[in-house]
């Protein structure tokens, strides 16, 4: 089974849970990751008003809904029909329509140079093969276009056990050779690269690396709901999430 | 640290006629080598003793190029006077990056290259200070990494990856590459124990940043 099929199966299983959370997520302000850090604090995005945006691995498309409310013209793509169904239901509920497409971020049936921003939060950014989806994002973006994607923290991945348990302080796997990860609990296939590999891949595909925002959990707040991710105390000391910001050369 | 040859890494590129500044040149082995390749190097070091060794080495090699006694944070040389600024476990480890990186940008011509090898955040985080050894365990925090003071050694500097990237961008550099060095099979280091070399086969202990001054 290809990683796309495996991940579609995994996400079909996750879908009911994410359908429950979708109304809350759609109603939120623009926040990043499991610690809900507001975009106003991180400044990962350009002014998106008037931009054509594509969300790669949009799931229930809450990111695209936030972009739409900021004046962007979003398109969401995802491989999992059950997730897109939730996204369509949210569109009706919130009166916010934009195109949703069943497609893999590694092979998007849309024209070259038709977007100003490609974005992914725990979407294609970790579930698709970066050596396929980054070139595809480069193809879809206009010159000068922005690429912004959130991934799990690199150090966190190295400290995460195979079972669905949070990272501790021990480095359980090597950094050299980081690429494809299959976790015991779900059988889903994730992709995580080292820093140097990300930079090389982005450069080779015509991107200028602009920023790497390593998210530190805020000192206080509600705990997150993911048993496989480290708690606030760990995430105050080491990054549990990272946002790469790059720009296609003009 | 494992003496990976430049011919393999090809970080610096063609040398002939290039104005090159070495930050923290020590006894100037690197600059002497580069002069032999037709470059016009200047060696900078903040240690008068190191520069004495460098002067002796220059005499032995029958070479004559300037050696400057100054910190990398404040280099007494004019703007835009170099094609390459580099350091090999040099001033980049012992000078504050928030001061020396903008200084390197000032010294470089447009399109000029900055390359430097040094420590890594992984090495900093995984150093067990009381036991004085590298471990497969996070000891030090990642957030806030900047000035590292060991009990006996000199003050050293290392930054989180994102901090380096923001500093380069803010100083007018484009990021070309981050080369993370894995010791080649059979490599022996005079600086590192066998255990440390084994550690370094799994996690990066040495890295080279390669960035270019915007044209």
pLDDT digits (tens, 9 = 90+) for B184-199: 888 888 888 899 999 9
Contact list in A for residue B178 (CB cut-off 8 A) is 195-196, 199
Chain A CB within 8 Å of residue B146 CB: no
Q: Parse chain B into domains and list their residue ranges.
A: 16-213
Beta-carbon-side half-sphere exposure of residue B82 (alpha carbons within 13 Å): 26
pLDDT at B70 over 80: yes
- Give me the pLDDT at residue B96, please: 97
Contact list in A for residue B166 (CB cut-off 8 A) is 211-212
Q: Are A245 and A146 in contact (CB under 8 A)?
A: yes
Contact list in B for residue A172 (CB cut-off 8 A) is 136
Report CB contact under 8 Å: A155, B125. Answer: yes
Percentages (nearest 5) of helix, strand, coil residues in chain B: 30, 25, 45
Q: How far apart are CA A12 and CA A20, in angstroms?
A: 14
Report CB contact under 8 Å: B143, A195. Answer: no
| φ, ψ dihedrals at A101, nearest 5° | -135, 130
- Which of A203, A209, A216 has the CB atom closest to B165's CB atom? A209
Q: Are A191 and A129 in contact (CB under 8 A)?
A: yes
Which residue range(s) make up the domain with A23?
3-248
- Give me the pLDDT at residue B15, please: 85
Q: What's the CATH fold of domain B16-213?
A: Rossmann fold (3.40.50)
Q: Are A167 and A230 in contact (CB under 8 A)?
A: yes
Interface with A, mutate which of B202, B209, B212 (most A CBs under 10 A): B202
With CA atoms as reference, report the closest residue to B77 among B51, B102, B33, B42. B42
Contact list in B for residue A199 (CB cut-off 8 A) is 175, 177-178
Nearest CA-CA distance, residue B61 and chain A, Å? 37
Supply the pTM of this predicted model: 0.96
- Give me the pLDDT at residue B26, please: 95
Report CB contact under 8 Å: A175, B204. Answer: yes
Share above pLDDT 70 across residues of chain B, in percent, rounded to a whole number: 97
Chain A CB within 8 Å of residue B166 CB: yes
Q: Are A248 and A62 in contact (CB under 8 A)?
A: no
CATH at residue A216: 3.40.50.150
Interface with A, mutate which of B117, B122, B138 (most A CBs under 10 A): B138
Q: Under DSSP, is residue A28 helix (H, G, I), strand (E, B) or coil?
A: coil
Q: Which of A191-195, B129-133, B151-155, B208-212 has the lowest mean pLDDT?
A: B151-155
Report CB contact under 8 Å: A211, B179. Answer: no
Crossing angle between the packed helical segments B48-61 and B29-36, to the nearest 10 degrees: 30
pLDDT at B9 over 70: no
Chain A CB within 8 Å of residue B161 CB: yes
pLDDT digits (tens, 9 = 90+) for B85-118: 999 999 999 999 999 999 999 999 999 999 999 9
Report CB contact under 8 Å: B201, A209. Answer: no
- Which of B166, B179, B202 has the CB atom closest to A176's CB atom? B202
Mean per-residue pLDDT of chain B: 94
Q: Under DSSP, is residue B70 helix (H, G, I), strand (E, B) or coil?
A: coil
pLDDT digits (tens, 9 = 90+) for A4-39: 999 999 999 999 999 999 999 999 999 999 999 999
- Give me the pLDDT at residue B32, please: 95
Q: Are B86 and B107 in contact (CB under 8 A)?
A: no
- Give me the pLDDT at residue B164, please: 98
Nearest CA-CA distance, residue A130 and chain B, Å? 17
Q: Mark the ranges of chain A whose per-residue pLDDT is less than 50.
A: none
Beta bridge partners of B42: B21
Count of C-beta atoms within a 10 Å radius of residue B134: 22
With CA atoms as reference, report the closest residue to A1 among A189, A223, A194. A189
pLDDT digits (tens, 9 = 90+) for B48-63: 999 999 999 999 999 9
- Give me the pLDDT at residue A187, please: 82
The tokens describing A89, both together, are 């239901």
Going by pLDDT thresholds of 50, 70 and 90, the confidence category of residue B6 is confident
Contact list in A for residue B126 (CB cut-off 8 A) is 171
Nearest CA-CA distance, residue B201 and chain A, Å? 8
Measured between CA atoms, the residue of chain B closest to residue A236 is B143
The tokens describing B183, both together, are 């010791």
Nearest CA-CA distance, residue B175 and chain A, Å? 6
Number of independent structural domains in chain A: 1
List the Cα angle B192/B197/B198 in 5-degree steps. Answer: 150
pLDDT at B8 over 80: no
Place of tokens 């206009």: A142
Q: Are A32 and A150 in contact (CB under 8 A)?
A: yes
This model of the complex carries an ipTM of: 0.97
Contact list in A for residue B139 (CB cut-off 8 A) is 169
Contact list in B for residue A216 (CB cut-off 8 A) is 143
Going by pLDDT thresholds of 50, 70 and 90, the confidence category of residue B151 is confident
């Amino acid at each position: 089974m290809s990683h796309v099929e495996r991940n579609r199966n995994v996400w079909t299983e996750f879908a009911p849970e994410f359908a429950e959370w979708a109304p809350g997520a759609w109603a939120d302000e623009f926040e990043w990751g499991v610690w809900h850090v507001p975009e106003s604090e991180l400044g990962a995005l350009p002014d998106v008003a008037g931009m054509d945006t594509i969300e790669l691995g949009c799931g229930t498309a809450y990111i695209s809904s936030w972009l739409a409310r900021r004046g962007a013209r979003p398109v969401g793509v995802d491989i999992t029909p059950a997730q897109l169904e939730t996204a369509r239901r949210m569109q009706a509920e919130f009166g916010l329509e934009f195109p949703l497409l069943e497609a893999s971020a590694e092979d998007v049936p849309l024209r070259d140079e038709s977007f100003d921003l490609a974005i992914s939060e725990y979407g294609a950014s970790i579930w698709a093969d970066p050596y396929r989806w980054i070139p595809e994002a480069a193809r879809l973006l206009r010159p000068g276009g922005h690429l912004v994607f959130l991934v799990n923290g690199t150090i966190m991945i190295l400290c995460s056990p195979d079972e669905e348990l949070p990272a501790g302080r021990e480095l359980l796997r090597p950094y050299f050779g980081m690429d494809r990860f299959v976790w015991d609990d779900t059988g889903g296939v994730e992709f995580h690269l080292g820093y140097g590999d990300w930079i090389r891949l982005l450069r080779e595909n015509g991107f200028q690396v602009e920023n790497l925002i390593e998210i530190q959990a805020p000192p206080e707040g509600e705990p997150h709901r993911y048993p496989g991710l480290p708690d606030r105390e760990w995430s105050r000391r080491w990054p549990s999430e990272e946002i790469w910001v790059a720009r296609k050369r003009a | 640290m494992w003496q990976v040859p430049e011919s393999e890494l090809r970080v610096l590129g063609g040398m002939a006629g290039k104005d090159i500044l070495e930050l923290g040149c020590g006894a100037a082995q690197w600059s002497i080598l580069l002069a032999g390749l037709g470059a016009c190097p200047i060696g900078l070091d903040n240690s008068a003793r190191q520069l004495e060794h460098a002067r002796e080495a220059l005499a032995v090699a029958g070479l004559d190029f300037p050696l400057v006694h100054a910190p990398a944070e404040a280099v007494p040389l004019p703007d835009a006077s170099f094609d390459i600024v580099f350091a090999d476990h040099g001033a980049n480890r012992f000078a504050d990056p928030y001061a020396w990186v903008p200084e390197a940008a000032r010294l470089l011509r447009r399109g000029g290259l900055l390359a430097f090898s040094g420590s890594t955040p992984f090495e900093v985080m995984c150093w067990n200070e009381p036991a004085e050894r590298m471990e497969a365990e996070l000891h030090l925090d990642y957030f806030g990494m900047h000035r590292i003071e060991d009990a006996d050694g000199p003050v050293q500097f290392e930054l989180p990856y994102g901090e380096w990237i923001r500093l380069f961008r803010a100083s007018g550099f484009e990021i070309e590459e981050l080369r993370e060095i894995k010791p080649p099979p059979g490599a022996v280091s005079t600086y590192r124990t066998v255990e440390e070399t084994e550690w370094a086969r799994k996690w990066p202990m040495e890295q080279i940043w390669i960035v270019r001054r915007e044209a």
